[in-house]
Structures are given as C-alpha cells and as structure tokens.
A = this chain, B = another copy of it.
C-alpha cells in the first residue's frame, strides 16, 4: 500500500540476497570541483589532467574516496537506513580508475547475519560492488552494520559471520593504477621529494594542519553522494535524540583526514585498498579535525617497478593537534580520536 520506503530492518535480510541499489550516477568535473571545495585535496594526479596524462593516465581520475562515497551512498537506503551503528569496513579494493563522464551503479550481497542477544538488533554484513557503465567493477568492499529489528519477536533471518581478511593482500593491489612513467612524475609539482623508498615501517607522521567543519559542509558533501541517512540531515529528529544534533557522515572525516595527510604523504597519489576502519567516536560540526599516520608495512607490487605500496594507519582527532600522536588513554581510546583507518596507498619508487 505505502509507496514510501522506510528501509530494511534486520529480519528483512536474507543470506545470499543480492540487492541492486538506486540511483545510477554520472560523475563529472562538477563533482570534482565540489570535492575539492569540501576538502581542499592537493594530490596532483586527481587535480591536474596534465600531470595525470604525463605519468600514464588518460586524464585526471576521480579521487578514490569520492568514488567510495558515491558507491557507499547508494547502499544506504537499502542497507543502513535503520542502522544503529556502522561497525566496520574490510577488504575494500579499488579496481578501476573512474573518470568524469563515467556512470556508477552499485550492488550488494548479504554475506553475513548475526542477531544480537538483546533480539532488538542484528549485524548485517554486505559485500558492496560499484560498477561503471560498461560493467567493469570499480570498487568492492565489505561493511557490517548494526540494524534494528522492526519486530523484536521476529525470527532471525540467519546466523552466519563471514571470515574477513585482516588486510588486503599486496599482490592484489593496483589494478586501478596504470603503469606510471616515473621520468614524467614531477616531484616539485607534486609538492614533495619523498618517494616510496623514503618511508620506513613504524614511522609516524603528524599532518600538522587542522580543518574545521561546518554543518553546511557535511550536508553538502553527504547529499553530493546521494546518501540519505537521516542522522546527517534531520535536525528536527536528531535534536530529540541522544546526541541532540546531526551526526557527520563518517566518510567526511575519512576525506578530511586524507586531504590533511597530503602534508607528509604528498606522493601517496592513490588509495589502492582499505583494510579496515573504525569510526571511534562521532563527529559533529564545529570541531576542527587533525590527523596523523603511521607506516604499518611496505610491499612491492608483483611485476611492477613503478610504484610500491605503503600500508598506513591514519588516526583523525577532533580539537586535538597530533604532534604527540594521540591514540589511547590507558586502555581506552583517547576521547579526541574519531577515526582509525588502515589502508594501502601507492607511491612512486
């Protein structure tokens, strides 16, 4: 009877279920300009057609995270409209570069379901895949999310927790990155002389700069991704909820941290994979985001001498500069920490 969607509840999901998400989206240089205005990203491959072309791309590709957010946004109305919390990401790989003019669509498969002991909620695991108009996969990732039940008495729709890799295998990295013409990679234009070889495992980098976030900014960003989660927009409802205000979409924090990381990682021009991520604490408008990173590992890419992979852990904080690398207070998370992201980037060798 009703034509209005109120989203899926835990008992609506089925193991193995495949969901085609609305709305297909052609990405453009307009999206790129907005992404720049929202985060101030300075990585040259995504900023300059000329730079990208010189090193082997047909033109500047979209920022990897812009692609991620658009694909993620499509999954929200079907997967997480009734979510209590976004619990984690795993096994996220960027498979194909995306250019202005490409059209993105997304499909998810339910790969795990686990009711919580309260019987009020359950955890849904989905593998979501983004496609281009020609059917090529551009992105694949797993996320799990705690979803409300419509009816506590409803029977749990399954009970299976998938095995997920702790990190993406380096041997699988790089399909979205063409062979890089190193002689044409201009390190002065890129903003830093530091290549892959200059980074050491264990090294910590304070990204120094801080970026304040306004309500209008995170709303513009989240709508750009056609992400409809009500917690980001419905001030009327949020004002009565536990936080009393709108929550910032976690992807905004990821993009801010990535943009800040340019100062120290200027040549980390491509995110090849996300091993895992945790939104440690909620972010609200009005706070200033800072970030630091640690090199967790380094890896060669099979058969490639142009680029190497750094495994990074980037920590973002709110209202706390990162000169002393805040992370824990005793056994607990430092209350200023809002993001703990584990990912692979590619750098020229």
* Interface residues of A, Cβ cutoff 8 Å to B: 2-6, 20, 22-26, 28-34, 36-40, 42-44, 47-51, 60, 77, 100-101, 103, 105, 133, 188-192, 194, 198-199, 205-212, 214-217, 219-224, 226-228, 230, 233-237, 246, 263-266, 286-288, 290, 319-321
Contacts and interface: CB of A to CB of B under 8 A. Distances in A.
Contacts of A51: 24, 103
Contacts of A38: 220, 223
Contacts of A237: 210, 288, 321
A214 B263 CA distance: 27
9 contacts: A4-B206, A22-B190, A24-B47, A26-B50, A28-B33, A47-B226, A212-B215, A216-B220, A233-B288
Contacts of A216: 214-217, 220
A210 B83 CA distance: 17
A226 B265 contact: no
Contact of A263 (B5, B44, B192, B286): B5
Contact of A23 (B2, B5, B42, B217): B42
Nearest to A317: B236
Give how many copies assemble into the complex. Answer: 3
Which of A214, A222, A287 is packed against the most chain B CB atoms within 10 Å? A214
**SS class of chain A's interface: helix, strand, loop or mixed?**
mixed
A-B pairs, top 6 by smallest CB distance, nearest first, are A30-B33, A22-B191, A40-B223, A24-B48, A212-B235, A28-B29
Contact of A26 (B20, B24, B48): B48
Contacts of A263: 4-5
Contacts of A190: 22-23
Contact of A44 (B24, B208, B210, B236): B24
A101 B234 contact: no
Contact of A103 (B50, B199, B215, B246): B50
Nearest to A6: B208
A213 B11 CA distance: 34
Contact of A230 (B48, B192, B209): B209
A190 to B, nearest CB: 6
Which of A37, A44, A105, A190 is packed against the most chain B CB atoms within 10 Å? A37
